[in-house]
Structure 1
Amino acid sequence: MIVWTAKSGAKVTLTKAPSSFTIKGSGFGHGVGMSQYGARGMATAGKSSTQILQHYYTGAKVTTMSKNADASLKVQLLTGKKSVTVTPRSGRLRVKVGSKTIESGSKVTIERTSSGSVQATVGSKSYSGSKLTLEWQSTRYWKSSSATTVSVSGAQNGATGTYRHGRLEIGQLKSSLNVINVVGLNKEYLPGIAEMPASWQSEVLRSQAIASRTYAYRNLGAVKPACGCNVYDEVASQRFLGWTHENAGDSGPWRKAVAATQTTSGSTVRSARLITYKGGLIDAVYSSSAGSKTHSAAEVWGSAVPYLVSVDGSPPKYASAQNPNASWSVTAKQSDMARAFGLADVRSVAVAKTGSGLVKTVKATSVKGKTASLTGDQLRTKLKLKSASFSVA
């Protein structure tokens, strides 16, 4: 619409909301701590795992520690379900309910009953208790020559998960089953971590192994009330696929990287490499990539952490990282943008950023002049963007 005024003459005013917005950004994930693609580029340039980690965690040191080297970790595999099946392969399992132990060479069904108990059905018989334990052959809990694995229905984002190590503890959480895999942190948990392609360079794989180990060590001790676990098996903690990943045909380099960052005596881990800051374990957070700069913990989560500050995320000389998310672009429909801000429509969007390029606030204005604001992370979640480092046009 063209409006005439005596003072300024003709003035063009946008009175119609655009049909879509173009959002251009960089990076994938929260962008705090180690950038995996940036670390890959540094490894390609000849940097060691220690150099990589000490770049991304400012003032931190990579050290060798013997404490908790053979510790066990509780990993939540599944919750929110009333029923789960556990099936042994190439061997047998046993169910422990109270004082009873029941062996089986076939599928066991576990249910959360209407009376509030956990019930295991083995063959034609059922056994109930407040919780139960499942063990299988050739683990540290049941010595045997049969290399048994168990399949747990729905354990991997609805798909069946396969596990070789430890045991399962099945209890209750919010009126549903809670399935926990108790595993040795170094020898059994880390080989099943699926956070980085095993085809990447050995030094970046070692960096990932040390960061993943440090993250897990920091979560040892008291279990989280929200899950009855030390860590989740997905990206809320770290992606743990168990035997599915450890036994994959291309996972050899990852297993070697884990082994190279710890020392063993027989079957016992005696010491392992970890990241510390002033003698204490760091919170070794990481993400896929962070664009040109990583973000500080203060920018993303509101609290400053001395070793989680903004640094070069993927310097130009490390362009060989081949990061597919160094830059990205998506189109957001008018209806999606309006819904995100809770407005009838969105005429324009103004973005305010921090020094590292993280979007701090996004202010939307409707055709009628009504405004609404979101944080960058809130808009990222609502529109399912790859990161909170973006611009809107």
Structure 2
Amino acid sequence: MMRMFKALLLVFSISFAATSTATATAPLQFSFTGSGYGHGVGMSQIGAKARALSGESATAILNYYYKNVQIAPIVDTHTIRVNIGRALKSISFVSATPDSAVQIFSGDIANAQDVPPIMTLAAKKKITFNVDGAFATGEGLRAKAFTIRWSGPSSVITFSQPGSVVKYRYGQIQVKVVKSAMEVTNTLALRDEYLWGISEVPSSWPAAALEAQVIASRSYAMSKLGKINSACDCQVYSHIADQNFVGFSKESEPRFGQFWKAAVSRTIIDTSTSLAILSNGKPIQAYFFSSSGGATQTTLDAWGQATSYTQSVVDPAGLDPKNNPRFATWSASADQSLVATAFLLADIVTLEIISRNTAGAVTYIKGTASDGSTKLLRGDTFRSRVKIPSPYFNLAG
């Protein structure tokens, strides 16, 4: 009789648990609290600023955040191809600089100087390209790719795409149709022209912090040189997927743009070498981010792939409201649909932080659906997908 009772009790318990899970209500949103902004790997920009204010040099800052590296000159005579427009259907170009001219060439002519243009536009004359199947067309022109160059005293070209208007001064621009959409790239000298357009930190920051950012950005870009990515017709993107490149807008900032440009110049050694972060003689993929939750994390911590040059170090500036007024502490929420999509589940009933690393960042978080199914995500993957500031978070409410 006792065995039968236990069996019935077990069946009832299983049935009750299944019913409870199936009828659990998925909340409309989830709330979080935390500290820091960004993935937490490599150099903390807020931390670098604080260290610069305390008198540390750019070299000291970089050696603090990166492990077993050398800040040393390396040959830097490369050009870099930057995607400045992704999967576009309509774009336009114009140079409003007096006495400027815009030349259009058929095809991707690289650095060839003996190819005649198929069209020359005077100042203030705009050209618009649209996609027509596998071709870009505009002003009677039709090709799978175009190269655009501009000339004249201090000439600047304006590139317009839906939702964005950006000015460029250096190099040349390529327009190429890839999978029935236009990929737009800017090819220019990496050592200075590209770096003059990197907008990762305010130009008003201390000189050593600016120099540390320049060297980190140069190192990251150099690590990306090589084969062109056919999907974007580029080596790097101009946004957060790589680093934020805004063309002429950075150096032309009122009052402070000159300080950023000067910081770039101070990291150039001579006509062929510049400072970079090296590991075993090669530039590292120098990750950086805005601010941590008190300590940085390694690539192994964040993404599961080890690198010899990332390490976890104490980073108190991210928790100081004076240094980090927006993200020393933060609160955020994410809608049910966004969280469910992050886990690729129909819905999410509960979230559970499974583990943290020594830096305090979430390593794994578990989502449970109303049908009882569960999935794990890395903390930084979850952070990115649900659009909360950092992986240094707690569940709230």
Q: Report the number of matched residues.
A: 362
Flag the 1:128–1:22 CA change in 2: closer, same or farther, 3 A.
closer
Counterpart contact for 2:35–2:318, Cα < 8 Å: no
Report what 1:188 is aligned to. 193
Q: How does 1:1-393 map to 2 (within 5 A)?
A: 21-65=30-74, 67-68=75-76, 70-90=77-97, 91-97=100-106, 100-105=117-122, 106-114=125-133, 116-121=134-139, 126-138=140-152, 146-154=153-161, 158-249=163-254, 250-264=256-270, 269-314=271-316, 321-332=323-334, 337=339, 341=343, 342=345, 346-347=349-350, 349-365=352-368, 371-393=374-396
CA distance in 2, matches of 1:335, 1:102: 50
CA distance in 2, matches of 1:101, 1:226: 27
CA distance in 2, matches of 1:348, 1:129: 52
Q: Secondary structure at the match of 1:74?
A: strand
Structure 1 residue 349: deviation in Å?
A: 3.1
Q: Secondary structure at the match of 1:89?
A: coil
Report what 1:141 is aligned to. none
- Output the amino acid matched with 1:128: R
CA distance in 1, matches of 2:294, 2:395: 18
Unaligned runs of 5+ in 1: 1-12, 139-145
Q: Secondary structure at the match of 2:196?
A: helix
Task: Give percent identity, aligned residues only.
Answer: 31
Q: Secondary structure at the match of 1:53?
A: helix
Unaligned runs of 5+ in 2: 1-19, 108-115
- Output the amino acid matched with 1:101: I
CA distance in 1, matches of 2:118, 2:96: 19
Counterpart contact for 1:21–1:332, Cα < 8 Å: yes
Tell me which protein shows more strand as a share of its residues. 1
CA distance in 2, matches of 1:208, 1:350: 33
- Output the amino acid matched with 1:110: F
Structure 1 residue 218: deviation in Å?
A: 1.5
Q: Which moved more, 1:18-27 or 1:330-339?
A: 330-339
Flag the 1:319–1:45 CA change in 2: closer, same or farther, 3 A.
farther
Superposition CA RMSD, Å: 2.7
CA distance in 1, matches of 2:351, 2:319: 37
Q: Secondary structure at the match of 1:262?
A: coil
Counterpart contact for 2:321–2:328, Cα < 8 Å: no
Structure 1 residue 348: deviation in Å?
A: 5.8
CA distance in 1, matches of 2:58, 2:385: 36
CA distance in 2, matches of 1:275, 1:128: 44
Structure 1 residue 82: deviation in Å?
A: 2.0
Counterpart contact for 1:348–1:366, Cα < 8 Å: no
CA distance in 2, matches of 1:344, 1:112: 39
Report what 1:5 is aligned to. none
Q: Secondary structure at the match of 1:312?
A: coil
Structure 1 residue 61: deviation in Å?
A: 1.2
Flag the 1:314–1:108 CA change in 2: closer, same or farther, 3 A.
same
Deviations along 1:215-242, whole A, 9 cap, x unmatched? 1112222212221211111111111111
Counterpart contact for 2:317–2:324, Cα < 8 Å: no
CA distance in 1, matches of 2:224, 2:336: 43
CA distance in 2, matches of 1:317, 1:215: 26
Flag the 1:334–1:274 CA change in 2: closer, same or farther, 3 A.
closer
TM-score by length of 2: 0.83
Flag the 1:167–1:337 CA change in 2: closer, same or farther, 3 A.
closer
- Output the amino acid matched with 1:233: S
